[in-house]
Structure 1
């Protein structure tokens, strides 16, 4: 066997990666969590440390992994900083530089023991329930490549969880899919995959989470909610988002509801992880106020479900859905206000 063949049969990054998952997260948090776990960090402590609100009109994309990044954030810091504002998390999108060798960057990453997060179309992946049926933009972790056997090793924590080999041909179709408009999925189709990948790194080790450190995180987050840096952030940002959403629904704009589902998932996931972290720390540190604040933040995550699902069911008639949208948006606003107060109270004790 030649040296080249030998090298290409050994492109597997250590042990199979952890399948990191929580019920209310999307593939974005699940894949980042897998990479963080491989780096020796606690995914919940990193991804759950921050809690913020940001809505950017016109920015929402029809991808399960959409997440708003501050307009002034630059390339390698934007998405990582948005997901983990209190940690040195860096995330860089890239695409193959050479169409004649689309595996070059992937080989280099795997040879360096680095996991790769790849954008894919569920329609072409044999292990996804949507295989051969529904087009939808998704993320998976690539942890191995064997060009001799013709397989890519993929890890996907989103149910039904999968970790194993996928034929190269199927992966290439999924990784390079046009992801055309699909009437069965109005929220995650119609978004070209274009062989996009994410390189995610934690530039500095996550420090041990202490009451003092978490207290500082919480005070910063409460300030972000109550002292808006712009009209799109914090509680003021939520109010602007909800008002625009309702106005567009009343005008019969189905696009508002089409954007609500992917946008809301990011906000829901972050609230869910933050609430879980506070509950865990409150239990471990014997701090009932902190645990209660965690439950309050988790109530925000669950309130997002009502708004997102109502929007999904109202897609066919946005005007008719306006009253129910108003009800759920008001309930969510109340959940945010109570949670911000609870987190502020807990922070003052830490």
Structure 2
């Protein structure tokens, strides 16, 4: 019998976070906002304050990928900095560089970093899609036990799950080719490739006060009303939203199914951002007794819910794009108007915040 060296024995010890990660979920968000929110909460920060401070519109033609966690990046390769530009947060994607991928995740956990793994729902026993539907998803990894062949994962997207699954199931999900699946035209056909995302939360953390929020709202307003994007090829602001809606309707009338498929995927991140921003404004409006801020929050949340009409019409309409064109035009026009009304309400809130109390 070959003796186990102390180094090998130590490497096989279970790795687990000091405490089970918290959960974060709202109906309009995707797994991307969910795991970021959980990590921010884990670090002792208010996830809505960080994820909800930025409100913009951004579309990058040709960039939409069939993944639940797609998000158009202003900072290439750094989705966290794109989503939370007013907070010291950044992120990066990695893939294992050794023959022991679980060991790399374990080392991160031992170092206090909780990795976020891209996975295919088809291989995850706790997902309704298990052995049924392929779809690219994210889960938070908070433990690895190679001796027992287990991986601890947290997923707050319904149905919520936090616990151990077999390492072989996790590895299958993490390394899946995620082939094209007729049952999911939106999140399949995107190779997972054992990618994982790490979040770096820095300091100092901004204050949660009227002056800090007002600075963010002013920056948002400047970008929303800019006629041209400072980023080449990006469609941004209210002008970018109008251009995007026109593009979707024109593609629909031309019978372009691929553009309609991408609306559901792309719109999820925009809807989630809009919803979290509205929640932040409404909550702070109540806390600080600023009625204009509460009303702005409701207006932004209304814009968020208006995304559902466009997204679901495209999702159901892509097999016959021409037939869906008129409804897409109606929902898209309403969405543009909701954004414009919300932007006006936010501008009023900034004026109210700038006035001295009393």
Q: TM-score, normalised by structure 1?
A: 0.96
Deviation at 1:24, TM superposition (A): 0.4
**1:41 aligned partner:** 45
The answer as to whether partners of 1:179 and 1:193 remain within 8 angstroms in 2 is: yes
In the alignment, structure 1 residue 30 sits paired with structure 2 residue 34: yes
TM superposition shift of 1:89:
1.2
Is 1:19 aligned with 2:23?
A: yes
7-16 or 145-154, which deviates more: 7-16
Among candidates 251, 267, 271, match of residue 264 of structure 1: 267
Q: Calculate the aligned-residue CA RMSD, in Å.
A: 1.2
* Residue matched to 1:95: 95
Matched, 1:319 2:322: yes
Instruction: Determine if the alignment matches structure 1 residue 137 to structure 2 residue 140.
Output: no
Match of 1:86 in 2: 86
Please show how residues 1-350 of structure 1 align to structure 2 within 5 Å. 2=6, 4-70=8-74, 73-75=75-77, 78-98=78-98, 100-230=99-229, 232-350=235-353
The alpha carbon displacement at 1:229 in A equals: 4.2
Provide Cα deviations, 1:96-152, integer angstroms capped at 9, x if missing partner. Answer: 012x22224212211111111000000000000100100000000000000001000
Cα pair distance change 1:3/1:101, threshold 3 Å: closer
CA distance in 2, matches of 1:176, 1:123: 12
- Assess if the C-alpha contact under 8 Å between 2:152 and 2:165 holds in 1: yes
The CA deviation string for residues 294-315 of structure 1, in whole angstroms up to 9 with x for no partner, is: 0000011100001100111101
8 Å CA contact retained: 2:179, 2:188: yes
Deviation at 1:6, TM superposition (A): 4.5
| Partner SS for 1:90 | strand
Aligned length: 345
1:4 positional shift? 3.6
Mean Cα deviation higher: 239-248 or 103-112: 103-112
Corresponding residue SS for 1:142 = strand
The secondary structure found in structure 1 opposite 2:325 is helix
- Cα deviation for residue 3 of structure 1 reads 5.4
Contact 2:23 2:156 in 1 (8 A): yes
Distance in 2, Cα, partners of 1:9 & 1:165: 16
Structure 2 unaligned spans of 5+: 354-358
Structure 1 distance, partners of 2:175, 2:101, is 10
Deviation sequence 1:150-207 (CA, Å, 0-9, x none): 0000000000000000100000000000000000000000000000000111122422
Determine the C-alpha separation between the residues in 1 that align with 2:49 and 2:95: 30
- Structure 1 residues 305 and 174, CA, compared in 2 at 3 Å: closer, same or farther? same
Q: Compute the displacement of 1:234 (Å).
A: 0.1
Contact 2:151 2:165 in 1 (8 A): yes
CA distance in 2, matches of 1:268, 1:106: 31
Preserved contact between residue 290 and residue 352 of structure 2 (Cα < 8 Å):
no
Once residues 293 and 144 of structure 1 are traced to their aligned partners in structure 2, the CA distance between those partners, rounded to angstroms, is: 42
When structure 1 is superposed on structure 2, of 279-288 and 201-210 the one drifting more is 201-210
Scaled by the length of structure 2, what TM-score is found? 0.94
Structure 1 residues 270, 81: closer, same or farther in 2, change over 3 A?
same
Mean alpha-carbon deviation: is it higher for 201-210 or for 305-314? Answer: 201-210
Q: Secondary structure at the match of 1:103?
A: helix
Q: Secondary structure at the match of 2:101?
A: coil
320-329 or 196-205: which moved more?
A: 196-205
Contact 1:151 1:168 in 2 (8 A): yes
Offset of residue 220 of structure 1: 0.7
